[in-house]
């Protein structure tokens, strides 16, 4: 059993540091995320940075579990906690997750107030904020820095790929250098960052995906979330796929690529996700993404069978 920063890494049987284990060790109990929607839009949709958004993004702005935005966040929070405590018990704790849209974009005073409030909710031990690296003005950074002194804060940034050609194709409207500017501002303040990447983007090779993992590793993020491209119906990505029929990754290819990426990521990087949460009715392709448990089990089995671990191909830290 290997020990890393006082965490026994593999007691959950994984060959990487999973977020659930990290949280359990840090807080001494089960910790789950409570998604909150404060109705933030996205500068990549309203014309400020781009129009139409990233081509894979759904009309509801990528939230996996959307609650009506008109509900106050306390109502959203309590309603989820009520449901989840039946599953996890009264002693479990929560992280308030500002998930949908760009949660540092819009009315700054309103956003700050909601984040402050959430950080003080009962049983809330942390806050996660999903946003874009190009939406982090100095004032927001200062605010986040203060919040991070009071609670376990993570800022989640969508990178998807370090390949700017693909970035253009998916209409990310932010190149890698711009991403790095925002990333480094957070890093300099010691704020935890979670970087999201997507495998299987149109025309990306395995080498492209491994390069993204390698570059992300150099940034030393607190956490990484790896997603498989899920082509949702009624998106621009769906239109492109139907028109060009670009190659999709098979389940086996995805598993192999993810495991190779994990090997390139330092063992101290927390792995927050290894696939998406595609809904059957919304998914156009690939259909294997719907069976999340098969993907996760496949990754675990592959790592065990090949005796590989996260970080065994890097020694950057």
Which chain residues interact with ligand SF4 by CB under 6 A?
Answer: 42, 44-45, 53-54, 57, 61-62, 101-102, 132, 158
Residue 62 or 76 having the CB closest to ligand SF4? 62
Whole-angstrom Cα distance, residue 133 to residue 178? Answer: 7
101 φψ region: left (φ > 0), alpha (ψ -120 to 50), beta (else): left
Whole-angstrom Cα distance, residue 160 to residue 148? Answer: 25
In the complex, minimum distance from the CB of residue 195 to ligand SF4, in angstroms, rounded to a whole number: 13
Query: Are 16 and 309 spatial neighbours (Cβ–Cβ below 8 Å)?
Result: yes
User: What tokens does 215 get?
Assistant: 């570059």
Residue 17 or 231 having the CB closest to ligand SF4? 231
Q: Tally Cβ neighbours within 10 Å of residue 301.
A: 11
In the complex, minimum distance from the CB of residue 178 to ligand SF4, in angstroms, rounded to a whole number: 12
For residue 17, cis peptide bond before it (omega within 30 degrees of 0): no
In the complex, minimum distance from the CB of residue 199 to ligand SF4, in angstroms, rounded to a whole number: 16
Q: What's the Rg (C-alpha) of the chain?
A: 19
Nearest CA to 95 among 80, 106, 109, 110? 80
In the complex, minimum distance from the CB of residue 216 to ligand SF4, in angstroms, rounded to a whole number: 17
Whole-angstrom Cα distance, residue 161 to residue 197? Answer: 6
Q: Hey, what's the torsion of the CAs at 289, 290, 294, 295, to 10 degrees?
A: 30
Cβ neighbours of residue 97 under 8 Å, at least 6 residues apart? 33, 34, 35, 36, 127, 128, 130
User: What tokens does 109 get?
Assistant: 């005073």
Using Cβ positions, the residue closest to ligand SF4 within the complex turns out to be 53
Whole-angstrom Cα distance, residue 155 to residue 153? Answer: 7
In the complex, minimum distance from the CB of residue 57 to ligand SF4, in angstroms, rounded to a whole number: 3
User: What tokens does 85 get?
Assistant: 């405590």
Kindly state the helix (H) or strand (E) to which residue 157 belongs, with its residue range.
Answer: strand 152-160
219: β partners: none
């Amino acid at each position: 059993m290997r020990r890393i920063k006082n965490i026994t890494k593999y007691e959950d049987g994984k060959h990487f540091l999973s977020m659930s284990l990290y949280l359990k060790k840090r807080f001494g109990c089960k910790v789950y995320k409570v998604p909150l929607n404060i109705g933030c839009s996205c500068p990549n949709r309203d014309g400020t940075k781009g129009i139409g958004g990233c081509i894979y993004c759904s009309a509801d702005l990528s939230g996996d579990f959307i609650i009506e935005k008109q509900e106050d966040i306390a109502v959203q929070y309590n309603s989820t906690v009520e449901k989840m405590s039946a599953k996890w018990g009264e002693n479990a704790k929560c992280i308030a997750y500002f998930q949908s849209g760009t949660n540092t974009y819009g009315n700054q005073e309103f956003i700050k107030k909601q984040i402050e409030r959430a950080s003080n909710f009962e049983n809330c031990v942390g806050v996660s904020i999903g946003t874009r690296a190009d939406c982090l003005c100095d004032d927001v950074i200062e605010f986040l820095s203060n919040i991070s002194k009071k609670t376990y804060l993570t800022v989640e940034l969508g990178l998807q790929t370090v390949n700017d050609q693909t970035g253009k194709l998916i209409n990310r409207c932010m190149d890698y250098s711009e991403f790095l500017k925002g990333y480094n501002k957070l890093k300099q303040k010691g704020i935890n960052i979670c970087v999201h990447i997507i495998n299987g983007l149109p025309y990306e090779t395995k080498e492209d995906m491994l390069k993204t993992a390698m570059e992300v590793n150099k940034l030393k993020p607190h956490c990484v979330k790896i997603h498989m491209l899920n082509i949702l119906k009624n998106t621009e990505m769906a239109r492109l796929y139907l028109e060009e029929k670009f190659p999709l990754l098979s389940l086996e290819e995805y598993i192999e690529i993810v495991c190779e990426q994990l090997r390139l990521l330092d063992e101290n990087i927390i792995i927050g996700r290894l696939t998406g949460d595609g809904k059957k009715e919304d998914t156009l392709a690939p259909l294997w993404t719907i069976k999340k448990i098969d993907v996760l089990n496949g990754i675990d089995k592959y790592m065990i069978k090949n005796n590989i671990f996260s970080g065994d191909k890097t020694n950057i830290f």
